[in-house]
Amino acid sequence: MEKLDYEVIVIGVSTGGMKALGEIIPELPLDFPSPIAIVQHLHPCSDDFLVTDLNERSKLTVKQADEKEKLKQGFVYFAPSNYHLLIENDKTFSLSVNDLVNFARPAIDVLFETAAEAFKEKTLGIVLTGANHDGSQGAKKIKEYGGLVIVQDPESAEADIMPRAAIEAAKVDFVLDLDKIVDFLLKKI
């Protein structure tokens, strides 16, 4: 089976994200080749329970992204609560407290758009369950730069608004149930 070469995987998730990410991240092997950056919509005062929980259950190292940290294979990076997570052209993270985007900080669109600009066609974006339109414009930007976009099947999402918005905004490549997203990542990446 042909393997695909992506230098970064960006994931956007909101309502129902803890369950969705809990079905994907722990299934990835230690030698998974692409770094993963995630925006999970959080309350501004949220603790790091999700990061800690996933790190304990995963083979990959799961952590909050730090300012100027370089993306590395074997890591899953989360946007800290109340910070936008951006990827710079030098393939490092930056954190921002700029205005809310789509009523959120961190915003999925911010991560997706900056990843697309930094990694171009080597970007794979995944839009999971959520109850707003965040991620739809970022998915569109990833497609404009030649990257690949996967969206969770709205029928299987705890909240279907975000997946539906991404499907309407961009010519997504795949609409898959969570288990099929895991299969895709394991077989194709």
Q: Could you list the active site residues?
A: 14, 41, 134
Q: What are 13's two structure tokens?
A: 């998730």
Question: Which own/partner contact pairs does 172-178 have at CB distance under 8 Å and 24+ positions apart?
Answer: 172/127, 172/139, 172/143, 173/148, 173/149, 174/148, 174/149, 174/150, 175/150, 175/151, 176/150, 176/151, 176/152, 177/152, 177/153, 178/20, 178/23, 178/24, 178/128, 178/152
Nearest CA among 11, 29, 10 for reference residue 21: 11
Identify whether the C-beta of residue 95 lies closer than 8 Å to the C-beta of residue 84. Answer: yes
